[in-house]
């Protein structure tokens, strides 16, 4: 399953986004969206979806060195 933002939205519905601006890559968390997603789908689904998303973005942006940190940041929002 390919994870994409909702229609007419610039951020995924689960509250984690990776944006590229020139040479800078930013990992952002929308705490309200994360809380809403977790309350609807549960912690395990949030972790699975968010980790898969950051893995896809890391590959797309050739940000392999940052991937471990991005995964840890996602997990920190649950555990």
What digits encode the pLDDT tens for the residues 61-71?
998 899 999 99
Residue 67 lies in a domain: yes
Q: Record the pTM.
A: 0.80
For residue 75, the Cα-to-chain-centroid distance in whole angstroms is 11
pLDDT in tens, 22-60: 888 899 999 999 999 999 999 999 999 999 999 999 999
| Cα→Cα distances 21→5, 24, 27, 66, Å | 18, 5, 11, 16
Rounded Cα gap, residues 79 and 66, in angstroms: 20
Q: How many domains does the chain have?
A: 1
Q: 8 lies in a domain?
A: no
Residue 22 forms part of a structural domain: yes
Residue 9 included in any domain: no
In a domain, 59, yes or no: yes
Range of the domain at 38: 16-76
Tell me the β-bridge partners of 21: 24
C-beta of residue 27 within 8 angstroms of C-beta of residue 70:
yes
């Amino acid at each position: 399953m390919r994870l994409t933002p909702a229609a007419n939205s610039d951020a995924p519905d689960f509250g984690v986004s990776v944006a590229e601006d020139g040479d800078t890559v930013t990992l952002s968390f929308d705490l309200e969206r994360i809380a809403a997603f977790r309350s609807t789908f549960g912690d395990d689904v949030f972790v699975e979806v968010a980790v898969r998303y950051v893995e896809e973005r890391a590959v797309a942006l050739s940000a392999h060195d940052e991937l471990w940190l991005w995964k840890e940041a996602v997990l920190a929002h649950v555990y």
